[in-house]
């Protein structure tokens, strides 16, 4: 599996993520990192990685242009500016946006070490999730029954558009005040193997299961393309929360 970590400068977070996934992946991942406007790797980044017990010999800053001719299974962005490049300039089957504060802007002591530890926890979750991933076996009957509910269908379409959505965002988009009701439908879709989830702090984010059969993914995306009015109001409510996902999450979940 080929993974690219993308950031603006490729001098701190993405370099840390590259080193950590190489370590935890134990050779199962081909890992690269790059920057949209790269600078030399920050010495504090290398010091934190070495203090963690990992080698830094092969870590260096690279420009996004150096990897645009490659195909990646996952492109993982670590800042908002890099996320904008994910769909436009990088060939990736899955694009994930991880929210980590730049250690250079963190005011507390040992900021680089703390960022490394936080990334380490996320990387371990990513590796564990990958190791558990097996192609799901869903019968057409179960799949179409899952679509035969307004909340479940609209949730799937919104997730297909947004790539990843938290429960509170779906509550706002669906104009549904009952969090247990929305969560119950999402849990059913996860149990059936249609959705995957991850937890970040107090929030749970849902995305389409990457091992979902292609024809099922195409059915969902085809509905979005051919019936855009079906979720027009829901997307409008979601977009009204703002374009910045962390801001939206804070606004709707706190």
Mean pLDDT of 17-34: 93
Residue 249 has pLDDT above 60, yes or no: no
Task: For the chain, give the number of residues.
Answer: 254
- Averaged confidence pLDDT in the chain: 86
> Distance between CA atoms of 94 and 105, rounded to whole angstroms?
28
**Of 18, 20, 58, nearest to 35 (Cα)?**
18
> Distance between CA atoms of 83 and 147, rounded to whole angstroms?
30
Mean pLDDT of 107-123: 93
Please identify which of the residues 86, 166, 168, 252 carries the catalytic annotation: 86
Mean pLDDT of 60-82: 88
Catalytic residue status for 7: yes
Q: What pLDDT score was predicted for residue 133?
A: 53
Residue 185 in tokens = 């439908």
Residues 213-248: tens digit of each pLDDT:
889 999 999 999 999 899 999 999 888 886 545 454
**Of 23, 36, 28, 16, nearest to 81 (Cα)?**
36
Cβ–Cβ < 8 Å for 248, 165: no
Residue 254's pLDDT band, with cuts at 50, 70 and 90, is very low
> Distance between CA atoms of 246 and 119, rounded to whole angstroms?
17
Mean pLDDT lowest among 48-57, 116-125, 207-216: 207-216
Catalytic residue status for 79: yes
Catalytic residue status for 253: no
Q: Which residue carries 């919104």 as its tokens?
A: 158
């Amino acid at each position: 599996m080929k993974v690219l970590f993308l950031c603006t400068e490729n001098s701190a977070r993405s370099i840390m993520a590259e080193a950590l996934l190489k370590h935890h992946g134990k050779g199962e991942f081909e890992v690269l990192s790059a920057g949209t406007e790269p600078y030399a790797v920050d010495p504090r980044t290398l010091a934190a990685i070495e203090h963690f017990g990992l080698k830094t010999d092969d870590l260096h800053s690279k420009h996004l242009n150096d990897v645009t001719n490659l195909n990646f299974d996952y492109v993982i962005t670590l800042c908002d500016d890099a996320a904008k490049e994910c769909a436009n300039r990088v060939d990736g089957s899955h694009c994930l946006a991880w929210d980590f504060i730049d250690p250079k802007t963190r005011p507390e002591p040992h900021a680089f070490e703390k960022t490394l530890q936080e990334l380490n926890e996320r990387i371990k979750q990513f590796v564990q999730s990958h190791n558990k991933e097996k192609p799901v076996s869903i019968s057409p009957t179960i799949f179409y029954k899952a679509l035969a509910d307004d909340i479940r269908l609209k949730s799937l379409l919104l997730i297909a558009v947004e790539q990843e959505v938290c429960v509170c965002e779906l509550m706002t988009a669906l104009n549904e005040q009952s969090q247990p009701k929305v969560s119950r439908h999402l849990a059913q879709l996860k149990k059936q193997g249609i959705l995957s989830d991850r937890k970040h702090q107090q929030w749970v984010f849902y995305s389409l299961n990457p091992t979902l059969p292609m024809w099922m993914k195409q059915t969902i995306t085809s509905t979005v393309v051919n019936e855009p009015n079906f979720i027009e109001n829901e997307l409008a409510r979601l977009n009204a929360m703002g374009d910045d996902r962390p801001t939206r999450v804070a606004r709707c979940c706190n």
